[in-house]
Structure 1
Amino acid sequence: MTSPRMIKGGIVQVDPASGTRLKVIALQYNPDSLSRTLQIQASGTEGGDRSQALRLRGAAVETIKLEAEVDATDQLAAAEPAACSLGIHPQLATLELLVQPTSAALQANDAMSRSGVLEVLPLEAPLTLFVWGRNRVVPVRITDLSVTEEAFDVNLNPIRAKVSLGLRVLSVDDLGFDSRGGALYLTYLRSRESLAGRSASANLSALGLEVI
């Protein structure tokens, strides 16, 4: 009997205008756990207008945290040239560049500044998507990235590391309804609504009540 293929979580970067896929990063190993926090955007505040107490100002702010492992053990055992000469430097560099502007973009901004451009706009990053199965494809901003290198080869190339990622889900409040990222967020929200619809409502008796 063939075991089902285990899909991997990962990150996809796309061009926000054209939707062209720029980079796909599959996690080497799926993390054992993933934590999510949803911060409610409510209108009512303590001691404020009571008419606003049940109103929501917008989508909840969702943050995701996970810890991934990167390991070159199998590649070293197979004597793969890149692993033998560089360890996991390439994999770590790929993740680090998710939160860095390119050197070319930095130089272009510097050139504009030196030429007297009055307002140099902040550098725009690609649209980053966190993919965790078909039901969770969400636009995100990477808020923090930390790397703990745990083992090295004789040339001090890292060969095992843990990478902690903090992600903030970008909603239509951040991206707008007409953007590619905003459309992806709405698809994600509709998926959550559909999944919630499959969960049957419990009876009041389960809570020890007959009426409310």
Structure 2
Amino acid sequence: MSLANSPKLLKGGLVVLTPNGSGVSRSIALQYNPDTLTRSYQVQGSGGDASSGRAQPYRLKGPAIETFRLDAEIDATDHLETPEAHASTVAHGIAPQLALLESLINPSVDQLVSLAAQSAQGMLEILPPEAPLVLFVWSKSRVVPVRVSEFSIIEQAFDPGLNPLRAKVSLGLRVLSSDDLGFAQKGASLFISHLRGREALAAQATNASLSTLGLNGLF
């Protein structure tokens, strides 16, 4: 039995917005929070090399490109314990949840049909359909616009009809910065809020003394 005053466990997940960011299309909560979340950065800098004979001051052209990587577990066991309340799981296993994640990386059938119709009409310039804006949510203090850059599924168990019952999903998410989106976009304001939050956290870190580094002073 859980205690009444025990903290509520938040779920990580994804929120799918409409392409212009004006509303929520879908929200996807991870069934189980992954044990690890890998973050990597590619620095966007210029200068600092000595190829011209004299090193130039190193400059940061824009925000570093941040990437998240995580493995999510999806399991039908809990739902199958109460089959009367989860008819979809009984009929399809976890296939609906997997299909929902797959929709993040595929245009819709309607969009494909529209592109084919435009091509058949002889249109010279056909713009690919704009993908929805996806937000990675890892607590209320970490909400960032992302693009799914890597996606793989390992299906690990099946029912008699070969519907998947358990799977591990690996996601690679590239954070979209204000450089990518432009400041007028809704996603850009969310990125700036994310970056401002990181700066606020950095300000709370304890400053090490120079003596800790074996120095008496620099000037």
Match of 1:76 among 75, 80, 85: 80
CA contact (8 A) 1:16 1:181 kept: no
| Structure 1 counterpart of 2:68, from 64, 79, 82 | 64
Q: How does 1:80-119 map to 2 (within 5 A)?
A: 80-119=86-125
Report the counterpart of residue 8 of structure 1 in structure 2.
11
Q: Is the 8 A contact 2:13 2:28 kept in 1?
A: yes
TM-score by length of 2: 0.93
2:26 to 20, 23, 27: 23
| Deviation, structure 1 residue 77 | 1.3
The superposition leaves residues 61-115 of structure 1 with CA deviations (integer Å, 9 ceiling, x where unpaired) of 0011000000000111111211111100000000011111000000001100110
| Counterpart residue number, 2:36 | 33
Q: State whether structure 2 residue 59 is matched by structure 1 residue 55.
A: yes
Q: Could you tell me how far apart the structure 2 residues matched to 1:176 and 1:18 are?
A: 13
Deviates more, 1:155-164 or 1:38-47: 38-47
Q: What is the CA–CA distance in structure 1 between the aligned matches of 2:46 and 2:23, rounded to whole Å?
A: 38
Identity of aligned residues (%): 51
Q: 1:178 deviation in Å?
A: 1.2
Q: In the alignment, which of 152, 165, 179 is matched to residue 173 of structure 1?
A: 179
The answer as to 2:212 corresponding to 1:209 is: no
Question: Distance in 1 between the 2:147 and 2:107 partners?
Answer: 14
Contact 2:49–2:56, Cα closer than 8 Å, also in 1 = no
SS at match of 1:147: strand
Please give the per-residue CA displacement for 1:182-211, whole angstroms capped at 9, x wherever unaligned.
111111110111111111211111112211
In the alignment, structure 2 segments of 5+ residues that lack a partner are none
Q: Which amino acid letter does the alignment assign opposite residue 62 of structure 2?
A: G
Who is 1:150 aligned against?
A: 156
Say which SS state the counterpart of residue 99 (structure 1) adopts.
coil
Q: 1:121-157 deviations in whole A, cap 9, x for unaligned?
A: 0110011100001111000010011000000111111
Distance 1:18 1:139, change over 3 A: closer
Tell me, yes or no, if structure 1 residue 182 matches structure 2 residue 185: no
RMSD across aligned C-alpha pairs, in angstroms? Answer: 1.3
Structure 1 segments (4+ residues) deviating >4 Å: none
Q: 1:32 corresponds to which letter in structure 2?
A: D
> Contact 1:42/1:53 (CA < 8 Å) preserved in 2?
no
